[in-house]
Amino acid sequence: MAVRYCFVPCPFPLRTSAYKSVDGRAVSLRAATVPNPQKGARNMKNSRTIHSLVCMLLLLPSGLPLASGQQKPDWQQNIDWSIGNHTTDPGETNCVDQYVATEPACITGGGRSCLMARAIDSAKSNNCSYALRLTLITQCHNAGAQQTIGGAGQNAVCDYLKTK
């Protein structure tokens, strides 16, 4: 029997070799057996077709892109970074004066992640201008990130925050 290999996501520990994909998800190398060609070309063709379909079906629900290069735009990556940047140290917020002017409780109550939670709430309440303002404050230390977010526009940012 011939052996073919397919990378598939592993939602649970496996006894086979496990690897980490680029995005940190566990991926395992699983072997699928293909019948010997002497037993009939039809069985081998069916097995290959089934093997290919199984591999594709296992990759689709994992959220792994099937084509390379599929990733979020920079402005969405910058927003996601702010959402995940939790701090209780006022010095790490970089722009304390802007926090004081908008959401003072966030200075020691989570920093950027706190402001982003408020921005998300504002977006979901259709207060998109305030949501954009808070989002831009979280990137006050990074003019390039502010430009990408501002360049996306208020509506795109608001719509993206509504998905969070």
> Residue 78: is its pLDDT beyond 90?
yes
pLDDT attached to residue 133: 98
Q: Per residue in 125-159, pLDDT tens? A: 999 999 999 999 999 999 999 999 999 999 999 99
pLDDT attached to residue 145: 97
With tokens 């010095």, the residue in question is 91
The residues near 54 (Cβ < 8 Å, ≥ 6 apart) are 6, 32
Q: Are 27 and 7 in contact (CB under 8 A)?
A: yes
Q: Are strands 18-20 and 26-34 parallel, antiparallel or unpaired?
A: antiparallel
| pTM of this structure | 0.59
Exposure of 87 in the CB half-sphere (CA atoms within 13 A):
14
Percent of the chain with pLDDT over 90: 55
With tokens 């990137």, the residue in question is 139
Q: Which candidate, 118, 78, 121, 79, places its Cα nearest to that of 102?
A: 118
